[in-house]
Structure 1
Amino acid sequence: MCLGDDPTCAAFAEHRLRYQRDMQPERRAFLKSSFVASGGAAAIAAGGLSLVSPALAQASGKAVTQSAHYHLPASAETVHWGYFSKNLKPQVEIASGDYVTIETLTHHSNDDAERMVTGDPGAESVFLWTKDKKGVARRGAGPEDAKLGPGGGLGVHICTGPVAIRGAEPGDVLEVRILDVAPRPCANPKFKGSTFGSNAAAWWGYHYDDMLEGKKREVITIYEVDASGGRDWAKAVYNFPWPGVTDPNGVLHPTIDYPGIPVDHSKTQRTYDVLKGIRVPIRPHFGTMGLAPAEADMVNSIPPSYTGGNIDNWRIGKGATMYYPVAVSGALFSVGDPHASQGDSELCGTAIECSLTGTFQFILHKKADLAGTSLEALDFPMIETKDDWVLSGFSYPNYLKDLGPDAQNAIFSKSSIDLAMRDAFRKMRSFLMHAKGLTEDEAISLMSIAVDFGITQVVDGNWGVHAIVKKAIFSERTT
């Protein structure tokens, strides 16, 4: 029987909606809030509107004979830190229609290792760093002999994967359904029942050159989330100014310039009762999620691009579906940068960086089946929720191609909101004309009166603006 996972089933839409409703466990406020934040069950809109038409679903479903479910833990053997690469060996190879539960770790866990690393074998293996040994040596896309350490910190996110999708080739589109998001409980018995995350107001934040009295500083705030699901909000525990840290290899870090630096809290000054009485709504999501690009062998994980990556849109959570253009054989999907919550803009440089586990289903749409569909011209990552389509605009849509050989350095000095807004406008215009059959004049009018443009982030090198259009607008349109 179809459980909402067989696109060839005549009652696929009904079964999938029922399945997604079953995946909305009222028993856990954490998961419930995640579902609400992303708008509900992916690809099931009022009136059945979806980017995937019944004909495309049927065509793509022919390759789905049965679905398997895999589990990919986070450990020093299964993660790559700070970069995407078309040359990475897949951690698992799956077929279209398969499910994978993937563990992800925040790269900020060492901001408070007692709460986010201790007692957790997977996290301990990743964050291991002594004078003689490093659990994961390369951290970033830079050179092996970089002064700060292998990789140079040119990329910071711990990504679990990649997952290879059998048969995926350039020109295809990969649909990734986010079916579940759960917190990774603290493994330290002292903090049983809780999950913790870190928010770093860092030197790369938008605020940093605009501090009152010109007093520049990096301040880290540790937040607590109820891992048992008793509440759907986070609370601040304490904060501390970055003290300047000497890592186990003797390198001084006066600022947060290399990921995973172990903080010695005997040298920090903690302030408790910060943000007292403030409840931060939970929006669990994955800040970095996407496919390997084709343009370079190793790509910094910080700037987002046409195959996804560090989009940092809080809508990429439970119930949402992502669509990515495939750039390399196997697609090579990786996920990381888990967040408990984030506002549009990620203004200070980070979200509540908090380890999470996601369950995903992968559907491959072959290039030969895309002609005449809404996905035919897709060359950027797109978000679909129950109620909305969300298009991601960037300062440079494909910065690796747009900026030439020095792209991975140049992007950090060339981004602007104006460029990102224009890209979001152009993508929405194309979507409304190509997928919804509007004329250019109709599209421009509709964008001004019914499309919401928001600042996704201003801290990731390639700045982002998202455009949101409600599906209900098209509920009576027949074309």
Structure 2
Amino acid sequence: MSDHICSAGCNHFSHLNDPDLMGEFAEARKNLRTAIGGTPSAGTLGLAGVTQRALPSKKAGEQVSHYYVPANDKTVHWGFFSKKMDPLLKVESGDYVTIETVTHHSNDDIDRMVKGDKGVEAIFHWDAKSKAVDRRGMGPMDHPLGAGGGIGVHVCTGPIFINGAEPGDVLEVRIVDTMQRPSGNPDYRGKTFGSNAASNWGFHYNNLITEPKGREVITIYEVDAKGEQSWAKAVYNYRWTPQTDPFGVVHPIIDYPGVPVDKNSIKPNYDVLKGYEIPVRPHFGMIGVAPVEADIVSSIPPGYTGGNFDNWRMGKGATAFFPVAVAGGMFSVGDPHASQGDAELCGTAIECSLTGLFQFILHKKADLPGTKLYGLDYPLLETASELVLHGFSLPNYLKELGDNAETKILEKSSLDTAMTDAFNKTRRFLMDTRDLTEDEAISLISVSVDFGITQVVDGNWGVHAIIKKAIFPK
């Protein structure tokens, strides 16, 4: 395995631009609306719309496969990771997978984000008799709020099994490209929409200065579906009002994912953020592999195998590395965002459905010594110019807190411990992979490494360390 460390201007990621592969992705970009929820085509794997096509490899005589996984009620799991699930498909190291992801906030504006989109309509179908994806979270199925209890909220596409992946290995996930999911409603052709919920779990919620206190506010944003416009704009906002779901349960606050918002019950305010342009940086807020500590785990708190760590840098051109904890890795992705600031302060980003083209590379445990992946027990993010290490309040909260860990972590989160964890990981990384002394590492960290608050809203708070690769010896 090569342990190439990119310097500024390195074209490490350009080799992913295979013309056949990118041609397929461009075609998907142009025809995404017809692909959403479509009929299984030739090469189907027996799941709703999952297809496979062989592509020539860069190595003579070898082939890789390109799979397409649409998002629909048969290909998503809502609000949890699980090592016990049946995988959607099994891939080889080197294979590519185009994966559609859907925001769990789509029902904040049904007309713009659900209507006319067959895949999203299938996921969010809910009437008085049934809902298509019943379990939403890892809680009990008879929870009074609804099946799963909303203890986990993200619509996750997957899991994907990587053949040969075993505990102790590292899974490399390259994000080759992304594209916004266009509105399926003909009234909004060529546009994409996302929702930002200033919610009861936001960092701001108990520190409001204007009345009424304790309010939750939804802001709907518009994004260019073609990706040609680099900024988003607010369309309108509204205050959350008590919503009665199709089963008759009243939701006075945002407490269960996918509750359809009755537009007749809210008062839209179109005079909001006039003239403001928000930079679009599409990324996946929730991405990772299944942990081993429990059979079913909430999608909300992030941990050592990734999950919902909400780093806006997890977009096109980035590569993520995850420690494999269970056979096959069991990779899932979701919580797509059009944009987000560090900290995700109000509780959400611009929650906006997104499709990504991924490549999976497996690094075996025996090959890790002497590389940047040696001893990796946390999600590592790499861009063309940076390495980003992720620290958490409790790096393995499932193991450290035991039963009811998803609840206990809410009481244990601290930026002090997250900062300590990020520092410890950065020091160890520099000592183990760059052969620095502790004194050298500490000095280098203080003068050249930037620490940022990844998020303070996901239960297990995060601090990330950004190491610029240009500082390394050439």
Q: What TM-score, normalized to structure 1?
A: 0.87
Q: 2:176 aligns with which of 179, 201, 208?
A: 179
Q: Does 1:134 align with 2:149?
A: no
AA partner of residue 176 (structure 1): V
SS in 2 for 1:472: helix
How far apart are 1:216 and its partner, in Å?
Answer: 1.6
Match of 1:79 among 67, 76, 81: 76
Q: Which runs of 5+ in 1 are unaligned?
A: 1-5, 8-12, 32-60
Q: Among residues 240, 251, 254, which one is paired with 1:253 in the alignment?
A: 251
Q: In structure 2, give the amino acid aligned to 1:257.
A: D
- Structure 1 residue 465 and structure 2 residue 426: aligned? no
Is contact 2:179-2:227 (8 Å) kept?
no
Q: CA deviation at 1:407?
A: 1.3
- Distance (whole Å) between structure 2 residues aligned to residue 17 and residue 365 of structure 1: 21
Show the counterpart of 1:424: 422
Equivalent residue, structure 2, for 1:69: 66
8 A contact 2:12–2:384 mirrored in 1: no
Q: What aligned pairs does 1:322-471 form with structure 2 within 5 A after superposition?
A: 322-471=320-469
Distance 1:14 1:344, change over 3 A: closer
Q: Give the RMSD, CA atoms, in angstroms.
A: 2.1
Picking from 74, 88, 99, the partner of 1:102 is 99
Structure 1 runs, 4 residues or longer, greater than 6 Å off = 21-25
**CA–CA distance in 2 between the matches of 1:468 and 1:399?**
23
* 1:87-166 → structure 2 map (5 Å cutoff): 87-166=84-163
Matches within 5 A, 1:38-53: none
Distance 1:315 1:219 in 2: 26
Following TM superposition, by how much is the alpha carbon of 1:368 offset from its aligned partner in structure 2, in angstroms? 1.5
Deviates more, 1:105-114 or 1:405-414: 405-414
Inter-partner Cα distance in structure 2 for 1:264 and 1:292? 35
Residue identity in the other structure for 1:321: T
Question: Which secondary structure state, in structure 2, belongs to the residue aligned with residue 272 of structure 1?
Answer: coil
CA-to-aligned-CA distance 1:135-188 (integer Å, 9 cap, x gap): 100000000100001100000000000010001110000000000010000010
CA contact (8 A) 2:13 2:384 kept: no
Q: CA deviation at 1:431?
A: 0.4
Matched residue of 1:324: which SS? strand
TM-score by length of structure 2 reads 0.88
Whole-Å separation in 2 of the counterparts to 1:100 and 1:153 = 29
Distance between the aligned counterparts of 1:90 and 1:126, measured in 2? Answer: 18
**Paired residues for 1:173-252 under 5 Å:** 173-213=170-210, 215-252=213-250
Report the 3-state secondary structure (helix = DSSP H, G, I; strand = E; otherwise coil) of the residue aligned with 2:83: coil
Tell me if the contact between 1:66 and 1:97 (Cα under 8 Å) persists in the aligned partners: no
- Structure 1, residues 186-212: CA drift from partner, whole Å, max 9, x if none? 010000000000000000000000000
One-letter amino acid matched to 2:362: L
Q: Is the 8 A contact 2:172 2:361 kept in 1?
A: yes
What is the alpha-carbon distance in structure 2 between the residues aligned to residue 313 and residue 373 of structure 1?
24
Is the alpha carbon distance of 1:18 and 1:164 closer, same or farther for their aligned partners in structure 2, counting shifts above 3 Å? closer
Q: CA deviation at 1:228?
A: 2.2
Q: How far off is 1:371 after superposition?
A: 2.2
Matched positions, count? 433
Q: Does residue 263 in structure 1 map to residue 273 in structure 2?
A: no
Whole-angstrom CA distance in 1 between matches of 2:15 and 2:144: 54
Q: Report the Cα distance in structure 1 between the residues aligned to 2:352 and 2:399, rounded to whole angstroms.
A: 32
User: In structure 2, how many angstroms separate the alpha carbons of the residues matched to 1:416 and 1:98?
Assistant: 39
Q: 1:305 aligns with which of 274, 280, 303?
A: 303
**Residues 353, 14 of structure 1: CA spacing in aligned structure 2 closer, same or farther, 3 A cutoff?**
closer
Alpha-carbon contact 2:389-2:466 (below 8 Å) kept = yes
Unaligned runs of 5+ in 2: 3-9, 30-57
CA offset at residue 376 of structure 1?
1.6
Q: Answer yes or no: is 1:168 the counterpart of 2:200.
A: no
**One-letter amino acid of the structure 1 residue matched with residue 291 of structure 2:** P
